[in-house]
Structures are given as structure tokens and as C-alpha cells.
Amino acid sequence: LDLTACADVTDDALEFAAKSCTSLQSLTLDGCAKLTDAALFAVAKKTPNATLLSLQGCGRVTNGGLEPLCGSCRHLMALNLSYCGGVNNATLGLVARFLRDLELLHVSECTRLSDHGLGGLSTRCLKLAKLYCAGVAGITDAGVGYLTREPSLDHARGDKLRVLDLSRCCAVSDGAVDALARSCPTLE
């Protein structure tokens, strides 16, 4: 179900859709600015098998709604939280704790994120192949370092990462680029 730019969609409408369409696997709600955590509660309860959720620009969404969502929808493989002002390092902690199958994560322009948020992703989301962090000023060489280190002997982080968008992350320097080049041979 794709409701991109349906700015008048409310929590009630999404709750009804989630109740009625329990087989939903993909839900795109980009630009649905009226949606709040109540909508995420409904999605969490009624669509636990969802594999794709996009909330780009849903500025009223907070960790209060994301925690039950991540806890219930553990099969999510793609999550877009770009331009969500409530997203912070604790959000990435929830993602890392619950979404072990995640392959794609968008957090571009989530200005409350920093290096600390990337730490959990690198050690728990071992299938993460595409990470979009454009415009996150809090990411520095230290954050990039989390993505290039081996979290365990069995899973080399850099061997999975294929796409990493750090555009407009102005605190990333040559040293981080060198580490990426050495540690992430699969970058495209």
C-alpha cells in the first residue's frame, strides 16, 4: 500500500487499513504529516509480517510508536525514517535491538543522530547492505569507524555494506574514506 503525499490521511484511516489488510507486506506513508504514534501502534498490532515501511517526513512519529512497531514487525527488511524529526540515537538502538533482518535503512536528514547511533547498527544489524545518512551532521569519522570494524569473527561488517550515503556529513574526513576503501570492498 502506497499512500505517499496523502497529507490528509489520519491515524484512524491507517488503523482501519491495518485491521482490514492484515496481509500488508509493504507500507509507504511518505509525507503523511498527520500520522502519529497511534498509527504505528495499529501497524504493529495488525501487520507483523511487513517487510517494508517508509515513514519519510512523518514528523510526528516518535520512539513511543517506533518501539512497539519494531518489536512487532521483526521481519522488516527496509525502513525509511528520513526527515523524521523525532528520530534520534535511541531510535537506532530500537532498530538494532529488534530488526536483525534489516537490509536497508534511510535516516537522511535526521539531525538528532550522531556516531553513537551507528554503533548498535554495526554490531546487531549484520544484514544491513544499504545505509543512507545524508545530511546527518553528527556523523564523524568515529561513526564511520563503527561501520568498518568487524563486530565478530563470523561477520565482517564491511563485506555486507554495498551502499553508504554520507553526502553532506561534513565531519567525515579523508581518514574515514580510507577506512571505508580498505574495509568495505563491496561498496558500489
- The domain covering 11-183 belongs, at the CATH homologous superfamily level, to Ribonuclease Inhibitor (3.80.10.10)
Sign of the dihedral through C-alpha 163, 3, 6, 79: negative
Q: Specify the pLDDT at position 155.
A: 46
**Can you tell me the mean pLDDT for 53-64?**
97
Q: In what order do the strands lie in the sheet with 52-54?
A: 26-28, 52-54, 78-80, 104-106, 130-132, 163-165
Q: What is the pLDDT of residues 131-185, one digit of tens each?
A: 999 999 999 999 999 988 755 444 445 578 999 999 999 999 999 999 998 888 8
Query: Cβ distance 43 to 14 under 8 Å?
Result: yes
Q: What is the pLDDT of residues 78-124, one digit of tens each?
A: 999 999 999 999 999 999 999 999 999 999 999 999 999 999 898 89
Beta strands in the chain (DSSP E): 26-28, 52-54, 78-80, 104-106, 130-132, 163-165
Q: Specify the pLDDT at position 83.
A: 98
Q: Which residue has the higher pLDDT, 60 or 154?
A: 60
In the chain, where are the structural domains located?
A: 11-183
Helices (H), 73-140: 89-98, 115-124
